[in-house]
Chains A and B, each alone.
Chain A
Amino acid sequence: MAELSLRKLRKVYKGSADAVLHDIDLDVRDGEFMVFVGPSGCGKSTTLRLIAGLEEISSGDILIDGQSVAGAPAAERGIAMVFQSYALYPHMTVAENMAFSLKMAGESQQTIQSKVGKVAETLQLSSLLDRKPKTLSGGQRQRVASGRAIVRTPKIFLFDEPLSNLDASLRVQMRLELSKLHKDLGTTMIYVTHDQVEAMTLGSRIAVFNAGRVEQIGTPLSLFHHPENQFVAGFLGSPKMNFIDCEPIARNAGGSTLRCGNGVVSVNFHVTQKCVLGVRPEDFAISTESVGFCVRIDVVEQLGDAVIAYATPVDTHTTIVIKLAPPASQLRINAMLWVHPRPGSAHVFTEAGAALTQLTDLSTERDADYAR
């Protein structure tokens, strides 16, 4: 159990002028399941490797329980890591893999056997202890990798995209197992993924990375409902949020009226500059009158539990995505419809991408759903 703090963490690779991490400031609370999420090359895995001690930091500091570990070797930081490839030693049995760190630490054979046995029992690996990794399934390998980390009783667990090599159904199952593991152990965990579903379902809090910077940190729901910028709004949610360029055309006492492509939307605050309207696909509703945007449906996808339509607003070349509950019989190819954002669901961003405000009447329980 430990707290982790990153202070002005910066990483520049030798021979490169550009930093891959720009002054990251981040605090992970004791017992928290923190998820680093972001697109490929955003710096999330680099941050994890710096925390692990597998790479040297260029400047800044890493503190575990208030103590700087920036110069400490990986083995002395009190961390354990589960790799994307699991990094199981192929020539060793499951038991030997799990016992390796204890053996390196000079633990007695009796202690090793006892600790490995206990963890193996917890993870239902007891029957596999004499097997080599190549004879195990993906899920079993993932469990062995977790077991190898648990045996060390680390202060902090680091997971580097541990589920990305599994098929979809196994990934769901292993996600549940990891959630249970965190609940049972109560240890601080940091989990890197590019999969927003994993981030949303596993994380106590999520840090969204982009181009070597942390865009926003918060609970999954606070990030989803109150994104601070267009990147976070676009990254979380599937299908991703629609963005439509707008400009104010009228101002009244209660707010402004915006022209968004061929549609007109009223907002409950004053807008004086060009901006971007953000609407999640599931936040569109079909208008019975000529309100919102007039669109032509191009493609319809039937997912069973939802219908997704790709539509082009009239007189534009952009595509918007609409997600409705079935049967949504109005969503037919080449149909012309009027759609509008549900009240309080749309977001407005500046042209630079910062959230102006959300047109919402939802109570903002930011961070309130932490401590799940």
Chain B
Amino acid sequence: MSSLSASSPKPVAPKRRFDTRRLMPYLFISPFFILFGIFGLFPLLFSVVLSLHSWDPAAGFEAMRWVGFDNYTFALTRDDWLHASLYNTLWIALVAGLPQHLIALPLAYFLHTCFGRWRNLVVGLYFLPFITSTVAIALVFSALFSKDFGVVNSILAAFKSVPLVGAIMPEQSVDWANNPQYTKWMISFVVFWRFVGWNTVLYLAALQTVPRDLLEAAEIDGASLWRRFRYIVLPLLKPMMFFAVTLTIIGNLQLFEEPFILTGGTGGTDQAGKTAAMHMYWVAFREGDFGTASAIAWLLFIVIAAVTGLNNRLLGQREND
């Protein structure tokens, strides 16, 4: 009898194959990362590099010359136009931005409480400027603010005959577009007009979340419509106020289209309507100084971050809220 030692067969290692199933999720999500990498992350990082170099793009990448923080130093200390345009930007951001919210908030509350079936139509009308082409808006407003034939000047002229009010009306037609004194007012008005509807919609959306019980409890507690707005609605809208004001800050500090078209790309007489974004565009594409333009972009980013941070301190949610 022969003894057979039945040795167990050696485990055969599974053949390592290219596992497409494991790769699939990454493949499906890759378009976003590829597009973001090319059109988002690369330009972002490249602009950081650019801001530390002097570069004439026409001469190719070899022409890039390291200058350290020279571009920043120049922009901060010697670029008077940047300082002026930053002042213009902050001025317009404030004058156009503040009334947007001061009007949109009560307007949204009014639409929310007093309008029935017509509410959506009215909201739609207010929202219309937001989805209208900036070029069309700028053209219409150029006509409205025209010195000789504009409706605004006609209205001001009509008020001249009204007692008391007439005294503060200008003697002659105002040259809104070319008189540096008025350019920023004109731009601010257009920006305000364009975005007040957008903010109204934001606040209306937030108002839907305020429980009706709270307003009814306040009504029984003796709060008038205004006091309900002041003491109940306004504090509850704080998170949305923070969001909407942040959007306004970011949008207004990057303002480009409206002033560019309204002033014909020049910034107006004395460049009174030139914003920081316009100046950045000018430095990059007119003067060909991409290094300084990148430095300006990052300085503008710091300004926006600082103002948004301030807004966060004022309106942001606290842990104990």
Contact = CB atoms under 8 A, between A and B. Distances in A.
Interface string A49-67: 0001110000000000000
Contact of A90 (B223, B231, B236, B320): B236
Interface in A183-205: none
A170 interface: no
Contact of B219 (A54, A91, A105, A148): A54
A100 B220 CA distance: 11
B111 interface: no
A81 interface: yes
Given A91-B235, A100-B231, A104-B227, A80 B213 contact: no
Nearest to B217: A87
Instruction: Tell me what chain A mostly uses at the interface: helix, strand, loop, or mixed.
Output: loop
B211 A87 contact: yes
A101 B213 contact: no
B287 to A, nearest CB: 51
B173 to A, nearest CB: 50
A249 interface: no
Chain B contact residues: helix, strand, loop or mixed = helix
A205 to B, nearest CB: 24
Contact of A101 (B222, B235, B236, B238): B222
B221 A101 contact: yes
Of B211, B217, B222, B223, which is in contact with the most chain A CB atoms at under 10 Å from its CB?
A: B217
B223 A104 contact: yes
B211 A100 contact: no
Given A91-B236, A100-B231, A104-B227, A75 B216 contact: no
Contacts of A132: 320
Interface string B199-221: 00000000000010110111111
A13 interface: no
Interface in A206-229: none
A79 B227 contact: no
Contacts of B227: 104
Contacts of B238: 91
A100 B218 contact: yes
B232 interface: yes
A62 B311 CA distance: 50
B223 A83 contact: no
Contacts of A91: 235-236, 238, 321
